[in-house]
């Protein structure tokens, strides 16, 4: 009604000047809102990290070596996390060994071989849903199949890192499949066509071109998923990891311990946080949290380093 | 079409097949020491303890001391909860069950059905502390009737302490509660502390008034005693209860309320002495249950329980914040163990 008619040339000028001038209040507000969200996230993270560092400092600063090399105990000042660290290390190892090949193979099949149809869509939808299933549910699954399942229970040895690792592998499998599939989907079609064009078989194209090209993406996704597995407590509680005390200190390289009873970092942290003594619930728990964060950071940086190497090779 | 679909199935199957294959290869090497009875030799057996997380610290202290002397023994202590402990115990999966309450009839029945005989040993007393914020100067002493009026089944909807006054008098309490907001933080139904509190405090009153032995449903329950203590210390007019050990560790941030069983009765402040002497009325016994058959075939287990009844009852119990048994009760526990 009252809208003034504008010429084409006029509109162009208006848009540009509108962006530059203060008249675009909405845009400016939006920009600050975005920045605010970012800062909020950062502040929360910094406060959290700062708090655990301050709480854990009495341990980290004075008896770090001792803390890393002793096991669970009855007094805060003589307790350490070596058993939790060993447990978490083996859990991650088993998770990676089981989930990586299975997940990547499934992703290759889904992306390269499966014909797009109702069935493929159905499978895809299921995998995506599985990725959102709460971890406790996987704990129940693990308890039923890997700990108590007839036959399988005897192989895993019951409540052991083996059973827990298989459970965590199931937990991260959907994420591994999804991220690997995305990475494979990102490979340019021309690459495949060129391969087929010079006479390579489908398998050769996948092996020599698609996978190397997708490797950085696949690696990032899969290693991040293992980092997630390292922080899970809920499934381990159901599987029955030890919360209070374990005697026996097998060496790190003693693979036999994957079929013995175990504990893990998230379990140690929750168990300590529930104790009445300040030494356990504040100092020790916070120190253990710092170590777990470092462990996860180490995994994540490994992912970054590996990705960069693969990317360089791809370009070179 | 069909062959492709079959391929999907094949992938799905290979998923489980590979997992199984993985299992096969990994279990080839370590075939030893899986099924419990690795015992024999001098005190190198396996001792598995599970159950109450309240008793867990005592068992940890004893296990630590035992492991220090017997390097070959393989001991594990966990604390999933008293009920879970008995479940494992009556399945014959563990040697000792920690419990913050006596075994229930149906649990004992399960044990009997599975042919599991056990010895019950009382090891310590745990007081249940009724708390408020240290800033709350208006409340010093409460009678059972007051507690019932504040959190019992008939108190639903009371939003200030004084709302409960009439009911408190009816239920045999003092009923001179302050006109202040009532913020309740207490354990939930899954907790042994909840059960014990109800049984001791509400038992008779609820029966007299023909009420169910339960609490009002409208308060915030927490599974973790540390959370309860935290909430209570941060609200000036709070009310709640939790383990005595947690209340003591909280120090000045919470106030322990004295308790009398009847209106105008003697107000007893919870201390190690009043709890041990049974003067403080809200306390419960902590137990361990030992599997007789396993003790018969595992000398390490016997030595462990011996240590529990000596070092455990005399030192570990108070070290971890619980109240030691009186000498007669200790003697009774030792006699029960000897007479197994």
Give the start-to-end residue ranges of the domains of chain B: 46-124+286-338, 127-283
- The yes-or-no verdict on residue B3 having pLDDT over 60 is no
Rounded to 5 degrees, what angle do the CA atoms B108, B112, B117 make?
A: 90
Report the C-alpha gap between B331 and A141 in whole angstroms: 46
- Closest residue of A to B22, CA-based? A98
Chain B residues inside the 8 Å CB shell of A277: 249, 321
The three-state secondary structure class of B99 is: strand
| Chain B residues within an 8 Å CB radius of A72 | 60
Contacts of B80 in chain A (CB under 8 A): 237, 240, 243
Instruction: Show the tokens assigned to A148.
Output: 């108590």
Q: Report the pLDDT value the prediction gives residue B81, as an integer from 0 to 100.
A: 85
pLDDT mean over B22-42: 37
Contacts of B13 (CB under 8 A, 6+ apart): none
pLDDT band at A20 (very low <50, low <70, confident <90, very high): low
Residue to test with chain A: of B14, B33, B64, B87, most A Cβ within 10 A: B64
Q: Do A260 and B64 touch (CB under 8 A)?
A: no
- The radius of gyration computed from the CA coordinates of chain A, to the nearest angstrom, equals 26
pLDDT surpasses 50 at B14: no
Closest Cα in chain B, distance from residue A268 (Å):
11
Cβ contact, residue pair B26, A98, below 8 Å: no
The better pLDDT of the pair A116, B133 is held by B133
Nearest CA distance, B193 vs chain A (angstrom): 14
User: Looking at residue B35, what is its pLDDT?
Assistant: 37
State which residue of chain A sits closest to B243, comparing Cα positions: A276
**What CATH topology corresponds to B127-283?**
D-Maltodextrin-Binding Protein; domain 2 (3.40.190)
Query: Above 60 in pLDDT, residue A294?
Result: yes
**Which of B143 and A24 is assigned the larger pLDDT?**
B143
Residue B16's pLDDT is what?
Answer: 40
Mean pLDDT, chain A, rounded, equals 89
Distance CA A308, CA A310 (A): 5
If you search the block for the tokens 């507690």, which residue do you land on?
B147
Rg (Cα) of chain B, in Å, rounded? Answer: 25
Whether the pLDDT of residue A269 is over 90: the answer is yes
pLDDT (tens digit per residue) in A217-234: 898 888 889 998 999 999
- Residue B27: the pLDDT is 35
- Contact B172/B226 with Cβ under 8 angstroms? no
pLDDT on residue B193: 83
Confidence of residue A183 (pLDDT cuts 50, 70, 90): very high
| Residues 279-338, chain B, touching A (beta carbon < 8 A) | 316, 319-321
* pLDDT value of residue B176: 86
Q: How many whole angstroms separate alpha carbon A73 and alpha carbon A245? A: 6
Do B49 and B78 meet the contact criterion of CB atoms below 8 Å apart?
yes
- CA-angle at B35, arms to B34 and B40, nearest 5°: 100
Domain ranges of chain A: 72-315
Of A3-17, A57-71, A107-121, B125-139, minimum mean pLDDT range: A3-17
pLDDT band of residue B316 (cuts 50, 70, 90) is very high
Q: Which residues of A80-93 are buried (b: 16+ CB within 10 A; e: fewer)?
A: bbbbbbbbbbbbbe
Are B46-124+286-338 and B127-283 in the same CATH fold? yes
pLDDT confidence of residue B82: 87
pLDDT in the model for residue A14: 56
* Confidence label for A117 from pLDDT (cuts 50, 70 and 90): confident
- Picking from A119, A247, A261, the nearest residue to B67 by CB comes out as A247
- Residue of A102, A162, A278 lying closest to B26 (CB–CB): A162
CA closest to A162 among chain B residues: B23
CB contact under 8 A, B23 and A105: no
- Mode of pairing for the β-strands spanning B141-143 and B183-186: unpaired
Residue B98 phi/psi, 5° resolution? -80, 140
pLDDT band at A22 (very low <50, low <70, confident <90, very high): low
Higher local confidence (pLDDT), A209 or A12: A209
- pLDDT tens digits for A142-175? 999 999 999 999 999 989 999 999 999 999 999 9
On whether any CB of chain A is under 8 Å from the CB of B6, the answer is no
**Mean pLDDT over residues A264-281, rounded?**
92
Predicted pLDDT of residue B143: 93
Share of chain B above pLDDT 70, in %: 88
What's the token pair of residue B90?
Answer: 């009556």
Could A162 and B224 be called an inter-chain contact, meaning their C-beta atoms sit closer than 8 Å?
no
Q: Do B53 and A155 touch (CB under 8 A)?
A: no
Q: Above pLDDT 90, what percent of chain A?
A: 68
Cβ–Cβ < 8 Å for B48, A245: no
Region A72-315: CATH code:
1.10.3720.10
Name the residue of chain B whose CA is nearest to A108's CA.
B11
Residue A61 confidence (pLDDT) above 50: yes
CATH code for the domain defined by B46-124+286-338? 3.40.190.10
Read off the DSSP letter of residue A75.
S
Q: What is the mean pLDDT of chain B?
A: 84
Confidence class for position B40, pLDDT limits 50, 70, 90: very low
* pLDDT higher than threshold 70 for residue A137: yes
- Whether A2 shows a pLDDT value over 60: the answer reads no
> What is the value of ipTM here, to two decimals?
0.80
- Per residue in B44-70, pLDDT (tens digit) is 789 999 998 889 999 999 999 999 888
């Amino acid at each position: 009604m009252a809208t003034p008619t504008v010429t084409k040339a006029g509109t162009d000028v208006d848009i540009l000047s509108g962006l530059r001038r203060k008249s675009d209040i909405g845009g400016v507000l939006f920009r600050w809102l975005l920045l605010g969200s970012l800062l909020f996230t950062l502040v929360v993270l910094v406060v959290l990290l700062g708090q655990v560092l301050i709480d854990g400092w009495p341990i980290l600063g004075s008896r770090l070596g001792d803390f890393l090399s002793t096991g669970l105990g009855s007094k805060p000042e003589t307790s350490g996390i070596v058993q939790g660290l060993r447990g978490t290390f083996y859990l991650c190892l088993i998770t990676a060994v089981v989930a990586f090949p299975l997940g990547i193979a499934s992703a290759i099949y889904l992306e390269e071989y499966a014909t797009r149809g109702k069935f493929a869509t159905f499978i895809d939808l299921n995998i995506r849903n599985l990725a959102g299933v709460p971890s406790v549910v996987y704990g129940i699954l693990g308890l039923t199949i890997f700990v108590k399942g007839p036959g399988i229970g005897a192989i895993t040895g019951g409540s052991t890192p083996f059973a827990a690792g298989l459970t965590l592998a199931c937990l991260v499998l959907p994420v591994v499949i999804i991220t690997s599939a995305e990475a494979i989907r990102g490979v340019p079609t021309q690459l495949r066509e060129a391969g087929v064009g010079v006479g390579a078989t489908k398998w050769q194209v996948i092996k020599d071109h698609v996978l190397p090209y997708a490797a950085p993406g696949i690696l990032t996704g899969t290693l991040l998923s293992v980092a997630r597995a390292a922080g899970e407590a809920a499934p381990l509680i159901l599987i029955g990891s030890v919360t209070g005390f374990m005697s026996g200190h097998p060496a790190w390289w003693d693979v036999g311990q994957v079929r013995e009873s175990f504990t893990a970092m998230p379990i140690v942290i929750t168990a300590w946080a529930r104790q009445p003594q300040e030494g356990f619930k504040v100092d020790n728990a916070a120190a253990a949290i710092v170590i777990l964060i470092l462990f996860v950071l180490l995994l994540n940086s490994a992912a970054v380093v590996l990705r960069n190497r693969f990317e360089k090779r791809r370009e070179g | 079409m069909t062959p492709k679909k079959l391929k999907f199935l094949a992938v799905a199957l290979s998923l489980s097949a590979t997992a199984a294959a993985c299992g096969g290869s990994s279990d080839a090497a370590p075939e030893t020491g899986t099924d419990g009875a690795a015992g024999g030799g001098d005190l190198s057996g396996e001792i598995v303890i599970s159950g109450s997380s309240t008793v867990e610290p005592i068992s940890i202290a004893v296990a630590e001391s035992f492991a220090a002397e017997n390097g070959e023994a393989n001991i594990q202590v966990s604390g999933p909860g008293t009920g879970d402990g008995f479940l494992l115990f009556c399945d014959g999966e563990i040697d000792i069950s920690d419990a913050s309450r006596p075994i229930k009839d149906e649990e004992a029945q399960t044990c009997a059905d599975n042919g599991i005989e056990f010895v019950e040993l009382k090891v310590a007393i745990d007081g249940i502390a009724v708390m408020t914020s240290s800033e709350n100067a208006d409340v010093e002493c409460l009678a059972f009737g007051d507690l019932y009026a504040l959190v019992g089944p008939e108190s639903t909807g009371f939003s200030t302490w004084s709302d409960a006054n009439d009911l408190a008098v009816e239920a045999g309490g003092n009923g001179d509660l302050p006109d202040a907001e009532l913020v309740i933080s207490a354990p939930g139904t899954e907790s042994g502390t909840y059960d014990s509190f109800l049984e001791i405090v509400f038992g008779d009153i609820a029966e007299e008034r023909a009420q169910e032995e339960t609490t009002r449903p409208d308060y915030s329950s927490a599974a973790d005693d540390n959370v309860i203590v935290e909430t209570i210390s941060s609200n000036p007019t709070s009310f709640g209860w939790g383990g005595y050990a947690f209340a003591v560790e909280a120090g000045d941030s919470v106030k322990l309320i004295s308790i009398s069983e009847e209106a105008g009765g003697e107000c007893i402040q919870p201390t190690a002495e009043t709890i041990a002497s049974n003067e403080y009325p809200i306390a419960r016994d902590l137990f361990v249950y030992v599997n007789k058959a396993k003790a018969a075939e595992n000398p390490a287990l016997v030595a462990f329980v011996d240590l529990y009844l000596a070092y455990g009852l005399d030192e570990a119990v108070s070290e971890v914040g619980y109240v030691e048994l009186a000498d007669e009760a200790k003697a009774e526990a030792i006699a029960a163990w000897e007479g197994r």
